[in-house]
Amino acid sequence: MKSIYMLLAVAGAVLPYSHFIPFLRTNGLDFNLFTTQLFANNISSFFATDFLICCLVFWVFLFQEARKYKMKHRWLYIVATLSIGLSFAFPLFLYFRLKAIERT
């Protein structure tokens, strides 16, 4: 199962960035344009809102589980979520959580 989590983490980093890098090449780090496009219509707003709520749920779960299994560097998964994305941070966390469970 650990290898599946790591494979999903890699896919979760590579695939979203394959869409984000062209935006950066064209527009640079234009945060206003990014948020305008992110909430451009009801469907994109639906997905963006769902994603943001999922990030918050993940962070609550992360701190609960990290404390439970005495995992270090909890902040790293927050940084991973904010810099790369939930699709990377969540399977990465599950990978290291499973390693922590195996240690106990």
Q: What is the dihedral of CA 45, 16, 61, 4, to 10 degrees?
A: 140
Do 37 and 24 meet the contact criterion of CB atoms below 8 Å apart? no
Q: What is the pTM of this model?
A: 0.91
Domain of 54, in residue numbers: 2-103
Distance CA 64, CA 71 (A): 10
- Give tens-digit pLDDT for 47-89: 999 999 999 999 999 999 999 999 999 999 999 999 999 999 9
Indicate the number of domains in the chain: 1
